[in-house]
Structure formats: C-alpha cells, structure tokens
A = this chain, B = another copy of it.
C-alpha cells in the first residue's frame, strides 16, 4: 500500500521530513520515496549544522541562476517566471526518488543523514511524496 505525504514549502530551501518516514518503515527491505513534481527535489543530506543547508541552497542558486540573469539568456521556457526553468534544471540534477534500506523496521540512515524536500520555486507550494515500503522476501 502506498502512503502519501504532503509537505508545505515557503520558498526555496531544504525542508526536513525524516520524522514522517520513520513510522512507515517496517520489516526488512527498502523504502522508496518519490516526489510527484518537476520543480523540487528530494535529498539526503547532513542534518547536524543548518549552515550546510544554507550553503547547499546558495551553491545551487549560483549553479543555476534565475532566467533573468544575463548568463541564462538562452533559456526559452520563461513565461512561468524567472524561477521556473531553473527549478526544472535543479530538479534534473537532484534526485526525484530515494531508496533507503530498512532493517528490523528501522531506516538504515547514517548518523548524520536526514531526508529533505528541496524546494526550487519562489512561491509557497504544497508538495506530494509517495512512499512505498518494499519488504524483502
């Protein structure tokens, strides 16, 4: 049975939702988390120092500047705003799904790994993730 999670975002950045995944882990196997959008991403990243999340956001804003930046003048898909096509590009570079091993009902994340939704759009969005807990035979 698939589970659905809703994550409300308020602008670009990382939103941790590891705590929503723990109760869905069961038995031994793999949890698959999938985001049903093309302008945000999923990411497993360090959960200790919030500076890491800020720096990640800063890096990707420079890697893929807004469409009204002179360096991005070649973009053609711009009617939905300067943040839209860069959001699609970031959603290509960063994961749309995560596969996390589960053992004895526990997510086998490393000590410093948290699960995040990475929002790339400027305006608030309501994002949907599908979670499938796949048990090993």
Contact in complex: A44, B96 (CB < 8 Å):
yes
- Counting every copy of the chain, the complex holds 3
Contact in complex: B88, A101 (CB < 8 Å):
no
The answer to whether A97 has its CB under 8 Å from any CB of chain B is yes
Mask, A55-67, CB within 8 Å of B = 1, is 1101110111000
Interface size on A, residues (CB 8 A): 61
Question: Within the assembled complex, what's the spacing in Å between the Cα atoms of A49 and B44?
Answer: 30
A residues sitting closer than 8 Å to B (CB atoms) are 1-2, 28-30, 32, 34, 36-39, 43-46, 49, 51-52, 54-56, 58-60, 62-64, 74-77, 85, 88-89, 91-101, 103, 108-113, 128, 130-137
